[in-house]
Structure 1
Amino acid sequence: MGLRSLGRIREHAGDKESAIDLYRQAADRGDNVALCVLARMSERAGDRATAEALAQTAVRRGVPTPLRYLAELRAQAGDLDSAIDLYRQAADRGDNMSLRALARNCERAGDHAAAKVLILEAVNRGSASGLYDLARLRQRAGDRANAERLRCFGLNEQGEPASSLV
């Protein structure tokens, strides 16, 4: 059984100190998921500096995902400025899911124009799933025809729903 798995067992048993120690050992041996878990635990404990340092370690290892996780936690806590900064950092390091997550936050806040811009940015960076997000926005705005065209054919060169695959 791996160190991270043992850490999870200790964490679920309520022994956070042992869990953190096991996660650290796993992270020291190159387990990037353990780094992500440690970053989340630090953030939830209110230690933002440690959480960001752990996330940046993951970024240096080529894994930007922890930045998105921290951004999500901060958005849930109402710290939108910090969340936006972390989402952007993650996106700039190749995590296009962070742009989509930021777009969902904008959408929940009622800023559909900003959500659309962020989704288009994600699509331009290679996120095919962003097309579904864009179709969902069009559908909610009552534009069912273009939403369906997006789902079927994607975007044309002008960034509008294509009418065919050609």
Structure 2
Amino acid sequence: MIQDNPESKFIFIFHPKILIGKKYTVRNGKEMTNGEVLQYWGKWIVLGEKSWLDKLAIKLDPLVESKEIPVIKYDREPSVNLGIDECVMMVYCDRRDRDRIWQILSRFGVKLKAWVTEKETMEMWLPGGLLLERWIASKDFDEFTQNAVREDAQARMGYLFDHPDEIFVPWEQ
């Protein structure tokens, strides 16, 4: 199911059961913990023009509906404030399934093979991390707001690292 809310930065592709509280971070019928997400969860990064990603999304949607691919999101427009000139599609899966998911993506014309773990991503959004600091620099925040943003990021991301045995709960985007 393609969820295209114009107010969101991202366009999402997820199974309809997500709308009734089901999670996409599930392995063998069991919800993953924070620690398991940090250890196993990641995404294939697909770069391209939005029009191409829109077409790819339509092709991948049935594979999300059938639960072959857990969830996908992609940019509505490039994140130039993060130094990215193309739109980014993120095809999420457990790393133990990533080779199978790569085969699917390559069948649909994806050439660049770039895998990023959720742990790496979260570290880039922690205070001092590349993505958080680029994002802060792209805003006209005063020092107080910059520090508040860093504290919020530490609280959100740090929670996952500090509570590895709790069931992972994605935050709204």
Q: TM-score, normalised by structure 2?
A: 0.26
Larger radius of gyration: 1
Q: Which structure shows the higher strand fraction?
A: 2
Greater helix share, 1 or 2?
Answer: 1
Q: Which has the higher contact order (CA 8 A, sep 6+)?
A: 2
Q: TM-score, normalised by structure 1?
A: 0.27
